[in-house]
Structure 1
Amino acid sequence: MKKMGLNEIREVYLKFFEEKEHLRLESFPLVPKDDKDLLLINAGMAPLKPYFTGLKTPPSKRVTTCQKCVRTGDIENVGKTSRHATFFEMLGNFSFGDYFKEEIIQWAWEFITKNLNIPKDKLYVTIYLDDDEAYDIWTSKTDVDPSRIFRLGKEDNFWEIGVGPCGPCSEIHYDRGEGKVSTVEEFIEASDNDRIVEFWNLVFTQFNKDEEGVYNRLSHPNIDTGMGLERIATIMQGTENIFEIDTIRSILDKVCEISNVEYGKDKNKGASVRIITDHVKSVTFLICDGVLPSNEGRGYVLRRLLRRAARHGRLIGVNRIFLSEVMDKVIENYGDAYPEIKEKRDYIKKVMEIEEERFNETIDGGEEILKSYIVELKEEKNKVLSGEKAFKLHDTYGFPLELTEEILSENGMEVDIEGFNREMDLQRKRAREARGESSYMGGEDSILNKVAQNVDTEFKGYDHLICEGRVIEIIKDEAFVESLKENEEGIIIVDNTPFYAEMGGQVGDTGTIYGNTGEVYIKDCKKNISGKIMHFASVSSGSITKGEVVKLKVDKERREGICRNHTATHMLHEALKEILGSHVNQSGSYVDNERLRFDFTHFSALTDEEITKIERLVNEKIMEASMIDTNIMNVDEAKSCGAIALFENKYKGDVRVVSVGTFSKELCGGTHVRNSGQIGLFKVISEAGVAAGIRRIEALTGTNALNYMEEKHLMIKEVSKVLKCTEKDIIEKINQNTLTLKEKDKEIQELKSKMVKGIENDIVKEAKEINGVRFVSYKLLDIDANNLRDIGDKVKNKLQEGVVVLGSVKDGKVNFVSMASKDAIEKGAHAGKIIKKVATIAGGGGGGRPDMAQAGGKLPEKIDEALNEVAKVLEKLLQ
């Protein structure tokens, strides 16, 4: 058996199936497209589901891929076992109703024994218990030893998840041990002990399981195979686990170099090294495919992996930003197979560094919270931190349980581990419920996605806003119907249309369809999962019938507004690159007739100067009145001419390149103005951050921009009238007024100080006595917290011995201060306990030392009631 590197195995596999007339497709992005059931691509067949279900027509009936995947279901086992990983690659070959068992079984055996040259006496095959067809093919069409074929039950060799396509499978296994396994029982035991490992699964999708549990045979069965690239690499390289294969070991060695850890010497440190190695690989590919750190969905997966890697760095002594250094090694090993990570190196690095820095700040914050928990435990004379609080530190603040245990141990305390585990189990349960159940194929069941594949619409809307077409389908209330009548709503499919269907951030067109006996308002236009153009319709008058020839007319004014904004987004994109740098890339957009919204990669807020430069550049290019050219070319031609393509998309075949003179050039399927001068004016109205490393610009064009400017001008004129100055003197006038207000505020504060001067004498006169302790509670008006404390000190000094509680309302908020003398404290008084009870009544909270405490409240109307409570609280304390 020849020792082969991971990258070599990948290429040998894909070339083998290309020679078997398979179309090689690049790996799909990790973010699923048109699949609500998946958070991230987690299997080789996942992005191909629409081809299996018939929702889309495959580019070829034979396809082969190496699909990058991320799974986090067993994240706690990553680093602890020899085979668990969050990121992995799945080799696969697929048949969509073309070849079946006979071909794939022979090809699989040929590839394993000839191309990989794995000894036949190291291989075993399993088949489904009743699959005599597979057994006959294995024994008659290959030279596998029949005694090495084992029949297993449904749990092992039948692929199904819920309802939908399913079928038996045949798995191929490698024996790491010595001697032959002769019985099913021996085989199962050897598999459980990891002596025998499965590395290739051939799924024969030949049934469709219905809601009643009946297995209906498919007229066109499919083939879906999956071979874990890392797993076959461990076999070919003779390693014990996936972390020792060439590409991953190279990354692992970099982690050891950075951390100065000798791999294999310490079990716990070894686990941390493996976790960092795996997680940085996942994070690199996730960021490249457009995922950004956040607190939900895919962003949460990314954040969790990145922070988990960072905290394991701390556990092995790395107390600085370091993950991007490990990322460089990932790109070195995987960049040739996935060039997009090379292209996005700087961007990936920046996102990782920002998030790692934020995590370090979070960790520091977590330590402060843990310290407050320790103080509480000491006050309560308790030595066990609740599992709930430990989990909150872990889940909300990203604080490692191991670090919590370590710090508590230094203080003679421990964690309620059982309680922590209960909280962790509850979180897993919530996550499972949020994901919900999905079928094997997970296809949309909506009637929209059941339109026949041969139904097609030709889009005429690039050159025409009016055209004729024939109605070929009508949908109403989840059913295909023959007609729609007045006031009814439904979906209409026509063989020709000028209506643009929502796509690429551009909204769908609106307009009217005129039939022989009716008029239909089109309120939106979208595509279903297989790309069929759907007109969302409401019948204004008469009726519309399937088969009739109709006239379709797009709302011209609305379309023109959309075109202005769409072309402006292209020009804005280019302007951002020129002003801010080449790292800028589009990460999302929204274009309608009112305004445009453009999300882009950048790591700090834009300055006023930068926004002005961007506006000026775009407007200069608008005034050049350049022609907008569209050209159809293949992907390589588009790249060579410098066209920008969105990094999360994979383009196949011919593409449409939209150019604004020599300024901007992008791949785009949307509609545009014919000349940049038609945009008229471009005006940025807002710029803000929407996620880590993502900024958002909103802008207006044409008459919308003019109206906005006019509103601002009228506002300025109104301000100048109010200030009684000319427009050019507004800023100077505001500065003068501000200075005057500050001086008056100072005067007011001085007057207030004079008013309360000597008030302590009046307050002391109100003093009463409880159980031999003098006390006073008093309300003042419009006094801030600092002045309230100063007055409290003076009252306490006048009182000499006793308790003082003062309250005041300022700017709608309540302030309290409580003080107690030494002899009052000795008798049981406690300023902190008094104020805690008092502030609660006023809708607040607080506490403090026995001798002094401050608090606030949100209910000014409750201040009298709160101060009246002082006597009752003090009486209880003095008992």
Structure 2
Amino acid sequence: MKGQEIREKFLRFFESKGHKILPSASLIPHNDPSILWTAAGMVPFKPYFTGAAKPEVLRVTTCQKCLRTPDIDSVGRTARHHTFFEMLGNFSFGDYFKKDAIPWAWEFVTEHLGLEAERLWITIYLDDDEAFEIWHKDVGVPENRIVRMGKDTNFWEIGVGPCGPCSEIYYDLGEERGCGLPDCAVGCDCDRYLEIWNLVFIQFFRDEEGNYTPLKNKGIDTGMGLERVASVLQNVKTNFDTDLFRDIMDFTGELTGKPYGTGAEYDLALKVIADHSRAVTFAVADGALPSNEGRGYVLRRLLRRAVRFGRVLGMEEPFLYRVAGAVIDKMGNAYPELVKNRELVTRVIKTEEERFGETLAQGTEIINRLIREARQSGKNYIDGEQAFRLYDTYGFPMELTREIAEENDLTVDEEGFTRAMEKQRERARSARQETEYLSEKTARLKNILEQVGETVFTGYDTLATKSKIRAIFVGDEQVDQAGAGQEVELILDITPCYAEAGGQVSDHARITAESTEVAVEEVTRPVEGLHLHRGRVLSGILRVNDEVEVQVDRRRRMNIARNHSATHLLHKSLKEVLGGHVNQAGSLVAPDRLRFDFTHYAAIEPDELARIEKMVNEAILSNLKVETFESTLDEARGMGAAALFEEKYGDRVRVVKMGDFSLELCGGTHVQSTSEVGMFKLLSESSVGSGLRRVEAVTGEGAMDYLRAKEEQLNLIAKTVKAAPHELVHRVETLVQELRELEKEAETLRAKLARYEVQSMLDRSRDIAGIKVLAARSGAADMDSLRAMLDLLWDKIGSGVIVLGAAVNGKVNLVAGVSKDLVAKGLHAGKLLKEIAPLVGGGGGGRPDMAQAGGKNPAGLEAALDKVYALVESAVI
């Protein structure tokens, strides 16, 4: 009986008993912050059991998708552990209780699933005499097959919430599956007795202190693991051998060229990938995204763990998104949300795979070095501070470091890791304190604000104004005057200078008097209401209460305004093209460029970027009027105005409207019509974190500079390849084709040289006790070439021992191979390399038939190769 049939049969059976079939709830619990994931079938119905909500119907049946991760390290290594699984359940919300639930369960497993009654065992809670009476007297289960068990197994609870005693149905898989011990029985840790269904009798509510209060409305919550019961009905030894997993594993096996059954290491990888891909696929379809905290961290950990097991199968490129497609094909009929969100799921997973590929490449190289260093120094562990550096600098998960270390018979100094983590937190706290604005100066500025009042900002309407110097700072000291050459900070009573805010950089300006000039390079608002102008006195003497003229750098202001207005047009275009989920997450508006960060789950496709750029430019060419006005926050939101990242709003807000295209709350400076932006050109698109993307662009003068540089670059390329610009594509295609032909020719020559080298090496092989042994230096440029050389030699030598070494760029590569007939006699390639690698200043190892190693001392290569013959001789004579 296939999984789909079992699922359908269960639901229809309870429908016949008056239950309403409901679709599975999301893996992300609704309005339940006490748990990260929906981990049981009853989770969506907790309010009904507590009386906090009234159900529309009193009897429900579901097949609930569930996710649990406490036993993640056991997945694939045991027959039954999973992260994602399906829970078949029937529920009563104050309607029927044990008297109905128990007989129905027996009826379903014996009559509808066809399980033999004599192979079924029942467990009940220690003092649940009511359940015993029903099982024994009403159903007819013999007394000796009803086992009373304790709270650790037969009392169901999951943190705070409804709970109660339970009764489990076990299936006897046969004596041959048991441990053979005389006391083997239900509850034994061996595989003989398999729990297939748990009937939970919801009678109590557990509070945060662990107290149990009887519920007014008793309920029924049952859970039958679909994967487990499928393994019984399909007569297979593990859940992974059921059709629920095998279809996915077979897809992965075909994809990787390592079909299920090839070997224990590969089978473990296929199992982990099948399990984790199911979990990840369903989680993303339900709205979870990879991140560094909460359920996003769990998702990222599962995804990255699956990717690393993909490396075991030889998958270096993203592949898990394709396995997710197989999950959707397998389970989409039962869970239509998978089909609906196929594009989202595959995009998110592929993006995370690509990001982790970069992390894994860097981190694996470093951890392999740490393993070698640990062995060379005689340690059986990886230093905790080094493991933390790997985590902190490269984002390499601690769990992954631990797993790789264990695979190499090492541990990780986790106490040292924790200490390093705490040190970093302390440094971060200290750094935050150090970067705070000096409290003494802040107090002084607040005092000035009380004395002279707020700085009046006139920069929306004018770029020049007369003003008066209210305060002067040189460093942290408040002074009465400053002279030429001094760095100063000035407070004015009136200013047209925009202070840095909302991602927009500040204005530059000139402050002048009769014989005095100050170049203003930065304007900030360290205290609300005060503009602080930082600059250098170019000439004269500046005094408090001097009357001055302030002139904003008009060209710079205009370029900033172009970029800021373009940012609003970009924001709207991103929403139009990518979807309403796009929201601003940060920005930089500078005179030479703009940068815009926003929420989105994947890289933007080239055609989408083209549409976004086109939409912005169409808005620019439409010459939309740019209007600004004040409103209340509620009124602005009622008009549909977007609130920007980290902007602080008071009772009155400033709204920027660009025709009917864009409406946003914004305190920045803008052009008067969109045509003044000139032109908009996207420069780049990239990731800045999980679920966050960044685009950079130029407008106006910046766009012209960009196009001019591109044109110069094009002309230079044309000159280099000796072709007119309009002929460049054809010329480059011709050159590429010629290069490919030369590369093919070079490859052919390399192959010929390799054959000559192979023959030369074979002539130097030795016979040791009837065994062909070859230990030779090769000119191979890298490890891949060295392994290829080893394969060529195997074709010629057949049976024997081969060790090859190559020195390249100050490093040594070693590979070793032992034919299977000699492995059976005790020769071991990994042990051979372990013996000789120290002579080249390295380490390594591997399987009995194939191993590789590396080192940093090319001078020791000849001695290492010579030692091979002695090692083989001592092993066989």
2:685 corresponds to which residue? 687
1:703 Cα shift? 1.8
User: 8 Å contact 1:834–1:874 — kept in the other structure?
Assistant: no
1:231 corresponds to which residue? none
* Aligned: 1:465 with 2:463: yes
Cα distance in 1, alignment partners of residues 715 and 540 from structure 2: 52
Cα distance in 2, alignment partners of residues 624 and 592 from structure 1: 24
Cα distance in 1, alignment partners of residues 848 and 564 from structure 2: 66
2:77 corresponds to which residue? none
Deviation readout 1:93-123 (Å, 9 max, x if unpaired): xxxxxxxxxxxxxxxxxxxxxxxxxxxxxxx
Q: Give matches, 1:173-192, under 5 Å.
A: none
* Aligned: 1:870 with 2:865: yes
1:528 corresponds to which residue? 526
Deviation readout 1:107-145 (Å, 9 max, x if unpaired): xxxxxxxxxxxxxxxxxxxxxxxxxxxxxxxxxxxxxxx
User: 8 Å contact 1:587–1:600 — kept in the other structure?
Assistant: yes
* Aligned: 1:611 with 2:644: no
Cα distance in 2, alignment partners of residues 477 and 584 from structure 1: 43
TM-score (normalizing by structure 1): 0.52
User: 8 Å contact 1:682–1:699 — kept in the other structure?
Assistant: yes
1:515 Cα shift? 2.8
1:707 corresponds to which residue? 705
Cα distance in 2, alignment partners of residues 358 and 532 from structure 1: 45
Cα distance in 2, alignment partners of residues 425 and 568 from structure 1: 47
1:543 Cα shift? 1.6
Deviation readout 1:10-60 (Å, 9 max, x if unpaired): xxxxxxxxxxxxxxxxxxxxxxxxxxxxxxxxxxxxxxxxxxxxxxxxxxx
1:714 Cα shift? 2.8
Aligned residue type for 2:863: N
1:597 Cα shift? 0.5
1:515 corresponds to which residue? 513
User: 8 Å contact 2:504–2:564 — kept in the other structure?
Assistant: yes
* Aligned: 1:669 with 2:664: no
Select the residue among 417, 421, 425 that pairs with 1:431: 425
2:577 corresponds to which residue? 579
2:633 corresponds to which residue? 635
Alpha-carbon spacing, 1:736–1:835, altered in 2? closer, same or farther (3 Å): farther
2:655 corresponds to which residue? 657
User: 8 Å contact 1:564–1:679 — kept in the other structure?
Assistant: yes
Alpha-carbon spacing, 1:718–1:537, altered in 2? closer, same or farther (3 Å): closer
Aligned residue type for 1:561: N
Cα distance in 1, alignment partners of residues 208 and 786 from structure 2: 68
Alpha-carbon spacing, 1:720–1:582, altered in 2? closer, same or farther (3 Å): same
Alpha-carbon spacing, 1:415–1:712, altered in 2? closer, same or farther (3 Å): closer
Alpha-carbon spacing, 1:784–1:424, altered in 2? closer, same or farther (3 Å): closer
Cα distance in 2, alignment partners of residues 257 and 457 from structure 1: 68
Q: 2:803 aligns to what SS in structure 1?
A: strand
Cα distance in 2, alignment partners of residues 525 and 805 from structure 1: 69
Select the residue among 464, 473, 476 that pairs with 2:474: 476
Alpha-carbon spacing, 1:390–1:807, altered in 2? closer, same or farther (3 Å): closer
CA RMSD in angstroms comes to: 5.8
Cα distance in 2, alignment partners of residues 834 and 593 from structure 1: 64
User: 8 Å contact 1:805–1:867 — kept in the other structure?
Assistant: no
1:767 Cα shift? 4.7
1:388 Cα shift? 6.2
Cα distance in 2, alignment partners of residues 757 and 620 from structure 1: 63
Q: Give matches, 1:271-286, under 5 Å.
A: none
2:600 corresponds to which residue? 602
2:313 corresponds to which residue? none
Cα distance in 1, alignment partners of residues 224 and 586 from structure 2: 36
User: 8 Å contact 2:290–2:300 — kept in the other structure?
Assistant: no
1:565 corresponds to which residue? 563
Q: 1:644 aligns to what SS in structure 2?
A: coil
Aligned residue type for 1:871: D
Cα distance in 2, alignment partners of residues 446 and 256 from structure 1: 65
1:471 Cα shift? 0.7
Q: 1:685 aligns to what SS in structure 2?
A: strand
User: 8 Å contact 2:655–2:665 — kept in the other structure?
Assistant: yes
Alpha-carbon spacing, 1:460–1:303, altered in 2? closer, same or farther (3 Å): same
Alpha-carbon spacing, 1:355–1:434, altered in 2? closer, same or farther (3 Å): farther
Cα distance in 2, alignment partners of residues 432 and 293 from structure 1: 27
1:491 corresponds to which residue? 489
1:438 Cα shift? 9.2
Q: 1:461 aligns to what SS in structure 2?
A: coil
Alpha-carbon spacing, 1:745–1:421, altered in 2? closer, same or farther (3 Å): closer
Aligned residue type for 1:870: L
Aligned residue type for 2:711: H
1:568 Cα shift? 0.8
Alpha-carbon spacing, 1:435–1:780, altered in 2? closer, same or farther (3 Å): same
User: 8 Å contact 2:348–2:602 — kept in the other structure?
Assistant: no
Alpha-carbon spacing, 1:594–1:387, altered in 2? closer, same or farther (3 Å): closer
Cα distance in 1, alignment partners of residues 479 and 208 from structure 2: 58
Q: 1:456 aligns to what SS in structure 2?
A: coil
Cα distance in 2, alignment partners of residues 732 and 661 from structure 1: 45
Alpha-carbon spacing, 1:432–1:259, altered in 2? closer, same or farther (3 Å): farther
1:811 Cα shift? 9.6
Unpaired stretches in structure 1, ≥5 consecutive residues: 1-69, 76-237, 261-282, 312-319, 322-345
Q: Give matches, 1:8-407, under 5 Å.
A: 240-241=207-208
* Aligned: 1:445 with 2:436: no
2:279 corresponds to which residue? none
Q: Once structures 1 and 2 are overlaid, which stretch shifts more, 444-453 or 492-501?
A: 444-453
User: 8 Å contact 2:351–2:602 — kept in the other structure?
Assistant: no
Deviation readout 1:526-556 (Å, 9 max, x if unpaired): 1104342110121111221111111111111
2:745 corresponds to which residue? 747
Select the residue among 543, 546, 555 that pairs with 2:544: 546
User: 8 Å contact 1:792–1:806 — kept in the other structure?
Assistant: yes
Cα distance in 2, alignment partners of residues 725 and 509 from structure 1: 46
Q: 2:644 aligns to what SS in structure 1?
A: coil
Q: Give matches, 1:770-785, under 5 Å.
A: 776-782=774-780, 785=783
1:485 Cα shift? 1.5
Cα distance in 1, alignment partners of residues 473 and 439 from structure 2: 14
User: 8 Å contact 2:604–2:685 — kept in the other structure?
Assistant: yes
Cα distance in 2, alignment partners of residues 594 and 619 from structure 1: 18
Q: 2:540 aligns to what SS in structure 1?
A: strand
Q: 1:620 aligns to what SS in structure 2?
A: helix
1:755 Cα shift? 2.9
User: 8 Å contact 1:387–1:415 — kept in the other structure?
Assistant: no
User: 8 Å contact 1:848–1:854 — kept in the other structure?
Assistant: yes
Cα distance in 1, alignment partners of residues 536 and 510 from structure 2: 10
1:757 corresponds to which residue? 755
User: 8 Å contact 2:771–2:800 — kept in the other structure?
Assistant: yes
1:239 Cα shift? 9.3
1:430 Cα shift? 4.5
Aligned residue type for 1:527: R
Cα distance in 2, alignment partners of residues 757 and 240 from structure 1: 76
Cα distance in 1, alignment partners of residues 459 and 223 from structure 2: 59
Aligned residues: percent identity?
Answer: 33
Alpha-carbon spacing, 1:878–1:536, altered in 2? closer, same or farther (3 Å): farther
Q: Once structures 1 and 2 are overlaid, which stretch shifts more, 564-573 or 831-840?
A: 831-840
Alpha-carbon spacing, 1:765–1:475, altered in 2? closer, same or farther (3 Å): same
Deviation readout 1:354-388 (Å, 9 max, x if unpaired): 699969x99xx9xxx9xx9xx99xx9xxxx99996
User: 8 Å contact 2:584–2:598 — kept in the other structure?
Assistant: yes
1:22 corresponds to which residue? none
1:460 Cα shift? 1.2
Unpaired stretches in structure 2, ≥5 consecutive residues: 1-32, 37-204, 227-282, 305-322, 325-339
Deviation readout 1:144-188 (Å, 9 max, x if unpaired): xxxxxxxxxxxxxxxxxxxxxxxxxxxxxxxxxxxxxxxxxxxxx
Q: Once structures 1 and 2 are overlaid, which stretch shifts more, 820-829 or 520-529?
A: 820-829
Structure with higher RCO (Cα < 8 A, 6+ apart) = 1
1:717 Cα shift? 3.1
